[in-house]
Amino acid sequence: MNNQSVQISNLCLMTGNANPELAKKIANHIGVEIFDTFVGRFNNGETQVMISDSIRGKDIFIVQPTSQPVNDNLMDLLVMADACKRASAHSITAVVPYYAYARQDRKTRGREPISAKLVANLMVAAGMTRVLTVDLHAGQIQGFFDIPVDHLKAAPVLADYFKKCNFGDDLVVVSPDLGGVTRARDLADYLKSPIAIIEKRRPRPGEAEVMNIIGDVDGKVALMVDDIVDTAGSLCEGAKALRKLGAKKVIAACTHAVLSKNAVEKINNSDIEQLVITDTIPLPPEKQSDRIKVLTMADSIGDVIIQIQSHRSVSQLFK
């Protein structure tokens, strides 16, 4: 048995209740079984975790995005990590495809928390020795941790899909705001397309008003790209503005599909012909739509897990 086989055999993949389907896909890609772990509730609502067999000396990978219900899923992750730490696991990697509270990464007015930092502190205190996440809302959140953070981007997965659509020179990648320009540029580089930028303001939280569009979208297929689609207000208003300025088609790509309240209804009634998302957050039946296409991040996450476990460079995967 070679050294890599020994390392992979020491890998123990667990899942909470947030996205077990994604965990199964990751397990299939790696070629391991999901470790038998019970994550449930006591009668009073507290999280209960029971690990069936010994994990002493094992390298644990816990797949648990902190999506809705956010606080329950976050607490499940923390309690699972604590259980693994007290069971003498060798290492504990939190595989958190969607990192909750990431939009609270700074103080924008007085007496506000920086919740993204608090969540990082909780993960470290619970016993995590590494974090693997996808498309953080703000890349600097990596600096909130005193442990290694592997920040995986969805751009290659999204780009592979849109390359097959054969939009050619008609495609322009659009950032829905000034803060998302780097994200738009990453995808545009993969697709070898120009970019445009929507300038907007937020009169109130969860609402957006388009002020201006920088770049040429006339006669183009406009591909809006963002990390999170929540209420879908920004995307729908952006799509309306792009169509008014002559875009012949508007599509959108978002890594994390929160889709709160009536977001799906908004999308179905908007100028967005297709919304492409990933499975970092599970899409329940009531949120499914003919306009929504789901791509999986399982293979990409699985490849990173293999690199971590084999003590090889993760950045090599992205070159």
Using CA atoms, how far residue 37 sits from 8, 13, 118, in Å, is 19, 10, 27
In DSSP notation, 187-216 reads: HHHHHT--EEEEEEE-SSTT--EEEEEES-
Produce one character per residue of 31-63: b if its CB has 16 or more CB atoms within 10 Å, e if not. Answer: ebebbebebeeeeeeebebebeeebeebbbbbb
Q: Which two tokens stand for residue 223?
A: 């591909």
Among 25, 58, 153, 200, the active-site one is 200
Contact yes or no for 37/83 (Cβ under 8 A): no
Q: Which two tokens stand for residue 19?
A: 């996205």
85 counts as catalytic: no
Query: What strand order describes the sheet that includes 59-63?
Result: 11-15, 59-63, 91-96, 130-134, 149-152
Query: Smallest Cα–Cα separation from 294: which of 285, 309, 283, 304?
Result: 283
Q: In whole angstroms, what is the distance from residue 308 CA to residue 259 CA? A: 32
Would you tell me how many other CB atoms lie within 10 Å of the CB of residue 210? 19
The residues annotated with a catalytic role in the active site are: 200
